[in-house]
């Protein structure tokens, strides 16, 4: 597969629909966690589910799938760092 990113890639509609359904499911899970769980727990649910959703969008809808591994890695490391930073912040806010 060409990984130069210089040409247009066509993602099959079937894949896009499947990812969209997964995203809908995850959004439902997020709403359920927000309404049923204790606030401190729902934050952790958010910290797990939201990056997964963002990752899926980057990977499929924003065509990160066709980029070089280095760029893919940089995006996901940055996303992971963001989650870690926010997680550490909440380790303070919810246990004071």
**CA dist 89 → 7, 25, 34, 56 (Å):** 41, 27, 19, 25
- Smallest distance from the beta carbon of 91 to other proteins, in angstroms? 5
What's the min distance (Å) between Cβ of 24 and other proteins? 31
Site string for other proteins, 42-81 (x = CB under 8 A): ------------------------------------x--x
In angstroms, what is the minimal distance from the CB of 71 to other proteins?
Answer: 9
Determine if 40 is a binding residue for other proteins (CB under 8 A). Answer: no
């Amino acid at each position: 597969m060409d990984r130069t990113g210089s040409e247009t890639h066509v993602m099959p509609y079937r894949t896009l629909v499947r990812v969209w359904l997964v995203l809908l499911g995850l959004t439902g899970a997020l709403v359920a966690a927000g309404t049923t769980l204790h606030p401190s727990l729902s934050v952790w649910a958010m910290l797990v589910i939201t990056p997964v959703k963002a990752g899926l969008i980057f990977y499929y809808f924003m065509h990160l799938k066709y980029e070089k591994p280095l760029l893919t890695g940089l995006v996901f490391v940055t996303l992971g760092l963001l989650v870690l930073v926010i997680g550490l912040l909440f380790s303070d806010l919810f246990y004071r």
